[in-house]
Structure 1
Amino acid sequence: MSANTGTQFSGRGMFEFDVPKHLAGGKFVVEARCRMLGPGFEIHGETHEDGVTKHQHIGFVHWGATIHLMIPEQYGRLVVKGASSDRKTGRWSLECKSFSELPEFSPENSASASRMFLVRGGARSADVEFAGPGSVRHFDLEGGKEQELVSNTGSFRGTVTVPGEGVVAISPPFGEWGPMQKWKLTLRGR
């Protein structure tokens, strides 16, 4: 994703871990991957209120999928678990990154894998090309609001409006699995 690597966790089955110290108390992003041919998994955030521990659902990762999530600041621990009490998880991996660990969104961005970029400045248009299934989502830095800018299950070309400062995530669309094909995002003039 960038020269700065985030904190990585991987395993099989249920796992709980403290949010890394450099990320604790603030919002951060996670790239979550579920290996092929394994059951999906859920990510929960753990909070403590009035002596009660609560797990709150943050996201679900289907088998073979890669998703991006923004984690709110209130969670001190994250939990990876099966989609139901009787389901186990397969192999999974999480990469947790602060906003400063993300590469800047440049005038031209391309790859053949999922990516996240930090966007600075106001709203701008960008031309997007996907050789196969793909989606572009935007996370607002303030409230963490997620907005899907485009999603398609086949190759496509079009234009999206990046709403402004935040995180742009390029990944397969929800429910798609397997490796991504080549994609390109080119910003139009400022």
Structure 2
Amino acid sequence: MTPPTSRTWSRRGHTPVVRVRGRSRGRVSVAALCCYKPGERSRLIYRHILHDPHGGHTKSGRRSFSWTDYRDLLSAAHKQLGAPLVLVWDNLNTHRTVGLRDFVAEHGWITVFQLPSYTPDLNPVEGVWSTLRRRRQANTAFADPNHLLRALRQGLRQIQYRSDLIDGCLTATGLTSTTSPPEGQ
């Protein structure tokens, strides 16, 4: 991952250059859920996978989260929150797999709303990723995947304790948290 640059400095007339390695020796995948319930503080639940640097694949053979990883995240969130889940999902291909659709259909405590294509501005989790990149990853060239993973976990933990920041991610989308179903349902 190329580190985002938030601020640099140099002598006047000299363009600053940030040097990074060209090849990655590993891969980290992260999935998160922004959880909102009226009258309660907002929560952030996340999971990560550190991929094998030699093969790069998980036990499922993927280089990212599989539908079973998302299934496990949803089950853990349901257990942790003790409430039904209403998911607002983007069009990631894993979110639309047959296995995950069957899992959602089998469990009445999950309701899924699919976002239209190319609308990251309606996804509250995108605000979390943006905050994470601007704060914990800015101006950092990570030495290895473990260094990146430590920074991600630390940054996500800080966000978890800031329910106002998680609320801001929802506010930025223009969506609202309601207790009653939309008209016509």
Same fold per superposition (TM over 0.5): no
The structure that has the greater radius of gyration is: 2
TM-score, normalisation: structure 1: 0.24
When you count strand as a share of all residues, which structure comes out higher?
A: 1
TM-score, normalisation: structure 2: 0.25
